[in-house]
Structure 1
Amino acid sequence: MFKNITRLVWILSLVSMFADIASEILYPIIPVYLQNIGFSIFLIGVLEGLAEATAGLSKGYFGNWSDRVGKRMPFVRVGYLLSALSKPMMAVFIYPIWIFFSRTIDRLGKGFRTAPRDALLSGEATLKTKGQVFSFHRGWDTLGAVFGPALALLFLYFYPGQLRWLFYIAFVPGIISVGITYFIKEKPLPTKKQISSPGFFSFFKYWKIASPTYKRLIVGLIAFALFNSSDMLLLLKVNEATGSENNVLTVYIFYNFIYAVAAFPLGLLADHIGIKKIFLFGLILFSGIYFGMAEAGNNTLFYVLFGIYGIYMAATEGISKAWVASLVKNEEVGTAMGLFVALQSIALMVASAFAGLLWTFYGASVTFLLTAIMSILVFLFMLFFVPKTKNKMEHPQ
């Protein structure tokens, strides 16, 4: 089953798992913590949106830079280090401007590492195995989102209400993830090395030379991201309906467990029946989930919806990256992937701010219903206008 999973993919998967433990100890409790120190739901949406936009633009920049210098690991290591350092900062600095700064440092770390790491994963896969390689990595990454909240839940059981200490605890697995990166020996890329850094927005130039299929795919993915707001709003819905931080954590753990278990099997299936089919299946699930979230009000329904949400994520998150990577050359993956995730993060910023505003004035139900309706329109666009992947790469003429 794992014959196509190389040593490098295993190591990167472990690195991501420990980094995600660090992040996910905090992720479910951040919205509650922010509300406790005076953030409104709208301001939380803006915070997450700006943090994601910072990550997105830097993903494009550092992905492009890693292509130019022909190296990936320096960017990967710095990225994981910045994210680890940002964790205790949110406990030390509690004023809004400093919270924004801390979240930005965390997302900047993600910007450093994401596209170069995804390029490393792409280089370890063939066109017929990209789905399973990206999904395998995604599954292990998501295991961190099972262990992290579980640790938070255990800690809060013994020390209820002591949210700030979790930010210090999260620093430990973050540093472990950095240490594991030193077990990777990078292979040089077959490219002319350009030591100087590119212009910050130079990765946008890739759009001019990208293939038509790549462009159509990116348009569909970004249109979807424009209405796919931060998952924190889903967690706020659970907290609002149940009034329990522990419910938020247990539902979130359950969701990530389903996600982690389903990721690799769906990646294997995508390699056999087609990436597009699995991704469209995920979009159908997403629409149903948001229609359900609009009316959800009890724990049982939240577990059902978040379980389906885990399957949706397994069918789209790693799969979408495999789809993008299958359309470009290995020496261009950093830039191509960086452009995709940059545009995606900017769209998520808009989506999160808009959803937070909509929630403030019209409530959660309207917010989730609009998202569900727009996802159906994206499904139709992807179905009719984005070609399925082929057995060989498509390159611009």
Structure 2
Amino acid sequence: MYRFEWFEQVKLGQAARVDAATAARVSPVVWGLGFTSLLTDVSAEMVNSTLPVYLVLHLHLSPAQYGLIDGIYNGFAIALLSLLAGWLADRHARQKELALVGYGLSTLCKLFLLAASGWSALLWIVGLDRAGKGLRSAPRDALISLNTPASQYAGAFAVHRALDACGSLLGPVVAFILLAQLPGAFDAVWVTSFVFGLLGLAVLWCFVPRPSPSPTAPARAPQAAAPAGERWITRRFLLLTGCGALLAAATISDGFIYLLLQQRHPAATGYFPLFYVVTAAAYMLLSVPAGRVADRFGRGRIFLGGYAVLIGLYAVLMGSDGLGVAAVIGCLCLLGLFNAGTEGVLMALASAEVPAARRTTGLALIATAVGIAKLLSSVLFGALWQHWGTATAVSVFIAALGLALLAAHQGLRRIGA
């Protein structure tokens, strides 16, 4: 196991304090991208926070059918276009333009919801929405790292993810208020979601410049000067990609976790969208501290620590037939802690391994591997749930995640992450 001696440094007051100065060191480009993501996530989560319970409890989809939709949402469409977006962005230095196309496509999908008449149409809309995410994610993350010193990668990604999580928090609240005031008026939710998406596009267009020809955020010193044609897919990069994909394949998607929590506290059905709010609040509060600690004491340690937290969450879900309100909130906070310790940190680890000339493609490769793994994970968990029940499904994933953690520990130790 990695040594967690930094806990002792924190106790002795030797660890870096996380305060306003941390945010002040972040590039204005990162802030612009962060507010773009905040507004876009308000738009997205107004819709997404109601989908799992709507599909399973109202449209009566089976867990296997929901697993397919969830896999498309979290994996397939992202994997399908991430590599193309990365290659185009690096070849033509068009990170901003591809991000605009991706955000624009996802925004248009909110209007398409007005014409959706069944779950098959919804499947297509979800696919197009995630295609937009596939186009924008790697160029956006490349813009973050290209405008950040290498020593501050995790901190910059953490600030971006914290703003993103703030949008994830506000979106379900806005939807909840709209539906409380206008019961059943889902059209109002879709239109309002579209407006927030347009605001996010405006911020990206006006406040995020194209990257300069000479990036200020090189990768590791031996790789920074690498010419564009030099081999950059190294053994270190492949090991990191494999670790990220392996752990993602053993992870239960957030939507399934929310459904499992609702199953253990049925009274919470009407408050299902607020599950997203609690998770996003924990993510937002913990993201920047996790990023700063990762930059200072080791990104690999924090990354694996996040997945160790997830095993604890799964154990609670498997061992409890009923959960009180406090226990449900605790589980949602653990999920937020997991997200804070893994999502931005993985991109920071990848950014340190890829030269600036190939940064977008490298991040797209990581996103593709993780996206495919998430697709397989959702489909497998849904099938296990439908045929053998939730206890068996969660047990299988606890065992798989434990083995994946051991393998990832060995892999990250080899590359010194």
The two structures share one fold, judged by TM-score above 0.5: yes
Superposed, which structure 2 residues align to 1:211-290 within 5 Å? 211-243=234-266, 244-290=268-314
In structure 2, what is the equivalent of residue 119 of structure 1? 142
Name the aligned partner's letter for residue 59 of structure 2. Answer: I
The 1-side partners of 2:187 and 2:385 are apart by: 27
C-alpha displacement at 1:164, in angstroms? 5.1
CA distance in 2, matches of 1:246, 1:262: 27
**Contact 2:138/2:360 (CA < 8 Å) preserved in 1?**
yes
Report if the CA contact (8 A) 1:153-1:246 is conserved: no
Equivalent residue for 2:398, pick from 343, 368, 372 = 372
Residue segments in structure 2 that go unaligned for 5+ positions in a row = 1-20, 216-228
Whether the 8 Å contact between 1:70 and 1:190 is mirrored in structure 2 is no
Q: Is the 8 Å Cα contact of residues 146 and 211 (structure 2) preserved in structure 1?
A: no
Partner of 1:13: 34
Percent of aligned positions with the same letter in both sequences? 23
| Maintained 8 Å contact 2:250/2:404 | no
Counterpart check, 1:176 vs 2:202: no
Task: Report if the CA contact (8 A) 2:247-2:408 is conserved.
Answer: no
Match of 1:47 in 2: 69
Which whole-Å CA distance do the structure 2 matches of 1:165 and 1:232 have between them? 23
Count of paired positions: 377
Secondary structure, counterpart of 2:413 in structure 1: coil
Q: Residue 163 of structure 2 is aligned with which of 140, 147, 151?
A: 140
Q: Counterpart of 2:44 in structure 1: which amino acid?
A: S
Instruction: Please report how far the alpha carbon of residue 210 of structure 1 lies from its aligned counterpart in structure 2 after TM superposition.
Output: 1.1
How far apart are residue 26 of structure 1 and its match?
1.7
Paired residue type of 2:88: W
1:26 to 39, 42, 47: 47
* C-alpha contact 1:29 1:163 (8 A) present in aligned 2: no
Shift of 1:31: 1.4
Is contact 2:53–2:272 with CA below 8 Å preserved after alignment?
no
Letter in 1 for 2:407: F
Q: Which residues of 2 match residues 151-170 of structure 1 at below 5 A? A: 151-163=174-186, 165-170=188-193
Contact persistence 2:107–2:197 (CA under 8 A): yes
1:136-162 deviations in Å (ceiling 9; x for gaps): 101100100110111122223223444
For structure 1, which runs of at least 5 residues remain unmatched after alignment?
A: 192-205, 392-397
Stretch deviating more after TM superposition (220-229 or 260-269):
220-229
Question: Cα deviation per residue 1:209-257 (whole Å; 9 max; x = unaligned)?
Answer: 4121111111111111112232111121233333343332223211110
> Aligned residue for 1:77?
100
**Bigger Cα displacement from structure 2, 271-280 vs 375-384:** 375-384
Counterpart amino acid of 2:394?
Answer: F
Equivalent in the alignment of 1:200: none
Structure-2 separation of matches of 1:332 and 1:386: 22
| Cα separation, 1, equivalents of 2:114 and 2:391 | 32
| 8 A Cα contact 2:154 2:345, kept in partner | yes
Question: How far is the alpha carbon of 1:283 from its aligned partner?
Answer: 1.4
Matched residues in 2 for 1:187 and 1:247: separation? 43
Could you list the per-position Cα deviations for residues 167-215 of structure 1 after superposition, in whole angstroms to 9, with x for gaps in the alignment? Answer: 2321111111011112222134359xxxxxxxxxxxxxx9x84121111
Deviation, 1:98, is 1.5
CA contact (8 A) 1:59 1:112 kept: yes
**Alpha-carbon deviation of 1:56?**
1.5
Distance (Å, rounded) in 1 between the aligned partners of 2:117 and 2:64: 18
The 8 Å contact of residues 227 and 374 in structure 1, kept in 2 or not, is answered as yes
Q: Deviations over 1:69-120 (max 9, x none)?
A: 1121110111111111112323421223321210111001101110001100
Partner Cα distance (1:64, 1:387) in 2: 30
Is residue 66–residue 75 contact of structure 1 (8 Å, CA) maintained in 2? yes
Matched AA of 1:241: R
Q: Secondary structure at the match of 1:387?
A: helix
Q: TM-score, normalised by structure 1?
A: 0.90
Q: Tell me, yes or no, if structure 1 residue 338 matches structure 2 residue 338.
A: no
The 8 Å contact of residues 25 and 152 in structure 1, kept in 2 or not, is answered as: yes
SS in structure 2 of the partner of residue 128 of structure 1:
helix
Q: What secondary structure sits across from 2:250 in the alignment?
A: coil
1:56-71 equivalences in 2 (<5 Å):
56-71=79-94
In 2, are the aligned partners of 1:59 and 1:341 still within 8 Å (CA)?
Answer: yes
Equivalent position to 1:149, from 166, 172, 178 = 172
